[in-house]
Protein backbone atom coordinates (compact mmCIF):
# COMPACT_ATOMS: atom_id res chain seq x y z
CA UNK A 1 0.00 0.00 0.00
CA UNK A 2 1.48 3.35 -1.07
CA UNK A 3 1.87 6.25 1.35
CA UNK A 4 -0.90 8.19 -0.42
CA UNK A 5 -3.31 5.26 -0.07
CA UNK A 6 -2.36 4.86 3.57
CA UNK A 7 -3.43 8.48 4.18
CA UNK A 8 -6.53 8.27 1.96
CA UNK A 9 -8.01 5.09 3.44
CA UNK A 10 -8.79 6.53 6.92
CA UNK A 11 -10.49 9.51 5.21
CA UNK A 12 -12.47 7.14 2.99
CA UNK A 13 -13.66 5.24 6.09
CA UNK A 14 -14.42 8.53 7.90
CA UNK A 15 -16.69 9.54 5.00
CA UNK A 16 -18.63 6.30 5.44
CA UNK A 17 -19.12 7.07 9.15
CA UNK A 18 -20.37 10.54 8.15
CA UNK A 19 -22.90 9.04 5.73
CA UNK A 20 -24.19 6.64 8.42
CA UNK A 21 -24.29 9.27 11.18
CA UNK A 22 -25.83 11.93 8.93
CA UNK A 23 -28.49 9.57 7.60
CA UNK A 24 -29.42 8.51 11.13
CA UNK A 25 -29.67 12.16 12.26
CA UNK A 26 -31.80 13.12 9.25
CA UNK A 27 -34.17 10.23 9.94
CA UNK A 28 -34.58 11.25 13.60
CA UNK A 29 -35.14 14.91 12.63
CA UNK A 30 -37.84 13.77 10.20
CA UNK A 31 -39.53 11.77 13.00
CA UNK A 32 -39.48 14.80 15.31
CA UNK A 33 -40.80 17.08 12.56
CA UNK A 34 -43.67 14.81 11.53
CA UNK A 35 -44.54 13.17 14.89
CA UNK A 36 -43.46 15.66 17.54
CA UNK A 37 -41.59 12.96 19.50
CA UNK A 38 -37.95 11.88 19.55
CA UNK A 39 -36.80 8.78 17.70
CA UNK A 40 -36.31 6.92 20.97
CA UNK A 41 -39.82 7.87 22.15
CA UNK A 42 -41.26 6.58 18.87
CA UNK A 43 -39.37 3.30 19.26
CA UNK A 44 -40.69 2.95 22.84
CA UNK A 45 -44.24 3.46 21.58
CA UNK A 46 -43.73 0.97 18.75
CA UNK A 47 -42.52 -1.71 21.17
CA UNK A 48 -45.50 -1.06 23.45
CA UNK A 49 -47.81 -1.32 20.41
CA UNK A 50 -46.22 -4.68 19.55
CA UNK A 51 -46.52 -5.96 23.14
CA UNK A 52 -49.30 -4.19 25.08
CA UNK A 53 -48.76 -4.54 28.83
CA UNK A 54 -44.95 -4.79 28.49
CA UNK A 55 -42.96 -3.79 31.58
CA UNK A 56 -40.06 -1.32 31.84
CA UNK A 57 -37.31 -3.94 32.23
CA UNK A 58 -38.37 -5.93 29.16
CA UNK A 59 -38.79 -2.70 27.20
CA UNK A 60 -35.28 -1.54 28.17
CA UNK A 61 -33.91 -4.92 27.08
CA UNK A 62 -35.63 -4.70 23.68
CA UNK A 63 -34.26 -1.22 23.08
CA UNK A 64 -30.83 -2.23 24.45
CA UNK A 65 -30.80 0.75 26.81
CA UNK A 66 -30.31 1.22 30.55
CA UNK A 67 -33.44 0.68 32.66
CA UNK A 68 -33.27 4.18 34.21
CA UNK A 69 -33.02 5.72 30.72
CA UNK A 70 -36.07 3.70 29.69
CA UNK A 71 -38.01 4.86 32.77
CA UNK A 72 -37.27 8.51 31.91
CA UNK A 73 -38.46 8.01 28.33
CA UNK A 74 -41.66 6.35 29.56
CA UNK A 75 -42.34 9.09 32.15
CA UNK A 76 -42.10 11.78 29.45
CA UNK A 77 -44.59 9.87 27.31
CA UNK A 78 -46.93 9.33 30.29
CA UNK A 79 -46.78 13.08 30.99
CA UNK A 80 -47.76 13.75 27.36
CA UNK A 81 -50.61 11.24 27.68
CA UNK A 82 -49.19 9.01 24.92
CA UNK A 83 -48.67 6.04 27.26
CA UNK A 84 -50.74 4.82 30.18
CA UNK A 85 -49.58 2.62 33.05
CA UNK A 86 -51.74 -0.21 34.35
CA UNK A 87 -51.14 -2.37 37.39
CA UNK A 88 -51.31 -6.08 36.66
CA UNK A 89 -54.40 -7.78 38.09
CA UNK A 90 -52.31 -10.88 38.93
CA UNK A 91 -49.38 -8.98 40.48
CA UNK A 92 -50.12 -5.48 41.79
CA UNK A 93 -46.38 -4.67 41.88
CA UNK A 94 -46.04 -5.15 38.12
CA UNK A 95 -46.88 -2.17 35.92
CA UNK A 96 -47.74 -2.73 32.27
CA UNK A 97 -47.58 -0.06 29.59
CA UNK A 98 -50.20 0.67 26.96
CA UNK A 99 -50.55 3.22 24.17
CA UNK A 100 -53.24 5.86 24.18
CA UNK A 101 -55.32 6.37 21.02
CA UNK A 102 -53.31 9.47 20.14
CA UNK A 103 -50.05 7.47 20.29
CA UNK A 104 -51.52 4.74 18.09
CA UNK A 105 -52.44 7.37 15.46
CA UNK A 106 -48.99 8.93 15.76
CA UNK A 107 -47.22 5.60 15.11
CA UNK A 108 -49.35 4.94 12.02
CA UNK A 109 -48.16 8.20 10.42
CA UNK A 110 -44.50 7.88 11.47
CA UNK A 111 -41.86 7.89 8.71
CA UNK A 112 -39.68 4.81 8.29
CA UNK A 113 -38.77 2.18 10.85
CA UNK A 114 -39.54 3.18 14.46
CA UNK A 115 -36.30 1.67 15.75
CA UNK A 116 -34.38 3.83 13.29
CA UNK A 117 -32.65 3.23 9.98
CA UNK A 118 -29.40 1.88 11.45
CA UNK A 119 -30.83 -1.01 13.52
CA UNK A 120 -32.95 -1.96 10.52
CA UNK A 121 -29.91 -1.94 8.19
CA UNK A 122 -27.78 -3.90 10.67
CA UNK A 123 -30.39 -6.59 11.20
CA UNK A 124 -30.53 -7.12 7.43
CA UNK A 125 -26.81 -8.00 7.26
CA UNK A 126 -25.58 -11.61 7.20
CA UNK A 127 -24.27 -12.90 10.56
CA UNK A 128 -20.68 -13.19 9.27
CA UNK A 129 -20.72 -9.54 8.14
CA UNK A 130 -22.09 -8.45 11.54
CA UNK A 131 -19.39 -10.42 13.39
CA UNK A 132 -16.67 -8.89 11.23
CA UNK A 133 -18.13 -5.38 11.66
CA UNK A 134 -18.43 -5.90 15.43
CA UNK A 135 -14.77 -6.94 15.70
CA UNK A 136 -13.62 -4.06 13.49
CA UNK A 137 -15.61 -1.46 15.43
CA UNK A 138 -14.22 -2.85 18.70
CA UNK A 139 -10.72 -2.18 17.34
CA UNK A 140 -11.72 1.39 16.40
CA UNK A 141 -13.14 1.95 19.91
CA UNK A 142 -9.90 0.65 21.48
CA UNK A 143 -7.95 3.28 19.53
CA UNK A 144 -10.07 6.18 20.83
CA UNK A 145 -8.10 8.48 23.13
CA UNK A 146 -11.30 9.57 24.86
CA UNK A 147 -14.28 7.26 25.15
CA UNK A 148 -17.44 7.04 27.20
CA UNK A 149 -18.73 3.48 27.50
CA UNK A 150 -21.89 4.78 29.23
CA UNK A 151 -23.06 5.96 25.81
CA UNK A 152 -23.66 2.32 24.85
CA UNK A 153 -26.77 2.34 27.07
CA UNK A 154 -28.35 5.43 25.48
CA UNK A 155 -30.65 5.48 22.43
CA UNK A 156 -28.92 6.65 19.25
CA UNK A 157 -31.51 9.41 18.77
CA UNK A 158 -30.58 10.90 22.15
CA UNK A 159 -26.82 11.14 21.53
Q: What is the pLDDT confidence band of residue 88, given thresholds at 50, 70 and 90?
A: confident
Percent of the chain with pLDDT over 90: 65
Q: CA of 106: how far to CAs of 35, 85, 129, in Å?
A: 6, 18, 35
Closest by CA to 115, choosing from 58, 33, 47, 68, is 47
pLDDT in tens, 116-140: 889 889 999 999 999 999 999 999 9
The answer to whether residues 40 and 82 touch, using CB atoms and an 8 Å cutoff, is no
Domain of 101? 3-158
Q: What is the mean pLDDT of residues 30-54?
A: 93
CATH number at residue 25: 1.10.10.10
Residue 33 has pLDDT above 80, yes or no: yes
Pairing of strands 95-99, 83-87: antiparallel
Sequence-separated (6 or more) residues with CB below 8 Å from residue 79: none
Domains: count for the chain: 1
Residue 42 has pLDDT above 80, yes or no: yes
Residue 1 has pLDDT above 60, yes or no: no
Q: What is the pLDDT confidence band of residue 2, given thresholds at 50, 70 and 90?
A: low
Residue 51 has pLDDT above 90, yes or no: yes
SS (H, E, C) the chain: CCHHHHHHHHHHHHHHHHHHHHHHHHHHHHHHHHHCCCHHHHHHHHHHHHCCCECHHHHHHHHCCCHHHHHHHHHHHHHCCCEEEEECCCCCCCEEEEECHHHHHHHHCCCCCCCCHHHHHHHCCCHHHHHHHHHHHHHHHHHCCCCCHHHHHCCHHHC
Spatial distance between the Cα atoms of 149 and 81, rounded to a whole number of angstroms: 33
Q: What is the mean pLDDT of residues 41-61?
A: 94
Q: What does the pLDDT read at residue 91?
A: 72
Amino acid sequence: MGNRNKKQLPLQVLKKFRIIYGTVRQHFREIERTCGVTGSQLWVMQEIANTPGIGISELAERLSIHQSTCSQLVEKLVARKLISKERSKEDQRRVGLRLTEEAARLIKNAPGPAEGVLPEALSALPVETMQSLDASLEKVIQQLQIRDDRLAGKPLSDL
